[in-house]
Amino acid sequence: MGEYRERRMQQLKEELASRPAPTSGSDGQPRLPDLGVDSSQVGKYIFLDSEKEAIKLLEKSGRKVVLHFSHKEFQRCKIMDQHLETLAALHPSTLFLAVSPTKAPFLVHKMQVKVLPYVVCFVDGQVKDRIVGFEELGNTDSFKLHELEERLGTAGVIIPRSKQNANKPVYGFAPQGTTGDGDDWD
């Protein structure tokens, strides 16, 4: 058993050593190295430099992805960026990405992006939902984080914190009736 463990540990060390180091994009924001997701990128909102990166990442991902078409000069895009950055830290199992519509003309045409901000929700590489502008978020710049979180939860790309905590027992005790027999006599 000890030999197997040692061999496996060596394999994991070699695999980890072969991974590229994290890099930054031209704007200083974190980037995904070679389009692979590593542990340093988990829980981060990542700005992509090109459409090619976005397409490859969406095809290879096999996970839940939130892609925001974000223009750096649009105030509402900045608001959405702030909220998505916060949600990325709260929901590390989902990949949160942003790409400029000027750098992704094919995706803009394919997804019929006409209004910004434009958020697309992917599950296993398939489009599951879209959030166009702030209409579904109260049509106001001051919408709350939990509103966006609930909306993304409806799309199926995250599990909102309100639903994560709903089934947790109070004081850490298991709910009654979990034994199935309903009898106090053991």
Question: How confident is the model over 77-102, as pLDDT tens digits?
Answer: 999 999 999 999 999 999 999 999 99
Q: Give tens-digit pLDDT for 125-160.
A: 899 999 999 999 999 999 999 999 999 999 999 999
Question: Greatest CA separation found in the chain?
Answer: 69
120 vs 167 pLDDT, higher one:
120
Q: What are the Cα distances from residue 101, in Å, to 30, 76, 94, 107, 114?
A: 18, 14, 22, 8, 10
- Predicted confidence (pLDDT) at residue 52 exceeds the cutoff of 80: yes
What's the Rg (C-alpha) of the chain?
Answer: 21
Query: What's the CATH code, domain 24-157?
Result: 3.40.30.10
Q: What is the rounded CA–CA span in Å between residue 75 and residue 59?
A: 30
Confidence at residue 128, expressed as pLDDT on a 0 to 100 scale: 94
CA distance 122 to 104: 17
Residue with tokens 């997701």: 37
Q: Give which of 24, 148, 137 is closest to 82, Cα–Cα.
A: 148
7-23 per-position pLDDT tens digit? 877 887 777 676 555 44
Domain ranges of the chain: 24-157
Give yes or no for residue 169 having a pLDDT over 90: no
